[in-house]
């Protein structure tokens, strides 16, 4: 079995979100609550290196704890996912996304996941893409707190990069009281 890992750039962006999105008192409380190993390594995450998934979990938990309510935590986690995605899409990928369709994007998400995550996987059902609807599933991520909502930020960023308007992403599986389900299902629609 593969040890769950995550790329350093994702951790850097998550840490950046945590350090820049909250007032000083909240930020200090959240940073002080992180495990010592995460606090120590936060300033030196190497973008292409692999790190234990637990680092990501600790950072996502801190972000969710800032507001500690379903709507506020959801919004913060989605925004964090968008920030991570903005770093993940290098210049070439940004250019490619200008000509990519939602169908092709959805089919590529599982590959993007494998590039940056060890453990878990995405599936995409594009059979209704002509009706502006795609279904996706993120599976085998039990124990990966809040990744289901952070992933909405990634998807939302991608759809915006494709130029799609009126994007709506509904999820089933995550709640603040159940932050790490085994799988999360998404229904993505746009106008």
What is d(CA 76, CA 38) in angstroms, rounded to the nearest whole number? 20
User: If pLDDT is split at 50, 70 and 90, which confidence band does 96 have?
Assistant: confident
Higher pLDDT pick, 23 / 86: 23
Q: The pTM is what?
A: 0.95
User: If pLDDT is split at 50, 70 and 90, which confidence band does 138 have?
Assistant: very high
For the chain, what percent of residues have pLDDT higher than 70? Answer: 97
- The values of phi and psi at residue 184, to 5°, are -130, 135
Q: How far is CA 27 from CA 54, 59, 63, 149, 150, in A?
A: 20, 12, 9, 21, 19
pLDDT averaged over every residue in the chain: 94
> Hey, where are the domains in the chain?
5-87, 90-189
What stretches of the chain show up as alpha helix (H) in DSSP? 8-20, 24-32, 36-41, 53-67, 70-88, 91-99, 102-116, 147-161
Tokens at 154, concatenated: 């990634």
CB 181 within 8 A of CB 174: yes
Tokens at 97, concatenated: 């996304």
- The values of phi and psi at residue 126, to 5°, are -105, 15
Higher pLDDT pick, 188 / 86: 188
Report which of 15, 17, 69, 4 is spatially closest to residue 42, judged by C-alpha positions: 15
Per-residue pLDDT tens for 99-131?
899 999 999 999 999 999 999 999 999 999 999
Q: Tell me the residue length of the chain.
A: 191
CB 189 within 8 A of CB 155: no
Q: Is the pLDDT of residue 180 over 60?
A: yes
Lowest mean pLDDT, pick from 2-16, 44-58, 92-106: 92-106
What pLDDT is stored for residue 1 in this prediction? 56
What pLDDT is stored for residue 88 in this prediction? 74
User: If pLDDT is split at 50, 70 and 90, which confidence band does 172 have?
Assistant: very high
């Amino acid at each position: 079995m593969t040890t769950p890992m995550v790329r350093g750039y994702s951790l850097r962006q998550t840490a950046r979100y945590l350090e820049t999105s909250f007032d000083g008192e909240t930020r200090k409380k959240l940073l002080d609550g992180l495990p010592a190993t995460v606090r120590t390594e936060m300033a030196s995450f190497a973008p292409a290196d692999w790190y234990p998934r637990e680092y990501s979990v600790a950072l996502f938990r801190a972000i969710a704890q800032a507001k500690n309510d379903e709507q506020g935590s959801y919004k913060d986690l989605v925004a964090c996912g968008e920030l991570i995605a903005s770093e993940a899409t290098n210049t070439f990928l940004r250019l490619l996304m200008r000509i990519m369709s939602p169908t092709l994007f959805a089919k590529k998400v599982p590959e993007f996941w494998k590039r940056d995550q060890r453990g878990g996987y995405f599936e995409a059902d594009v059979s209704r893409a002509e009706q502006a609807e795609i279904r996706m599933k993120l599976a085998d991520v039990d124990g990966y707190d809040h990744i289901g909502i952070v992933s909405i930020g990634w998807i939302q960023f991608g759809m915006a990069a494709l130029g799609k308007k009126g994007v709506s992403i509904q999820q089933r599986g995550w709640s603040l009281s159940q932050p790490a389900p085994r799988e999360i299902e998404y229904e993505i629609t746009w106008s």
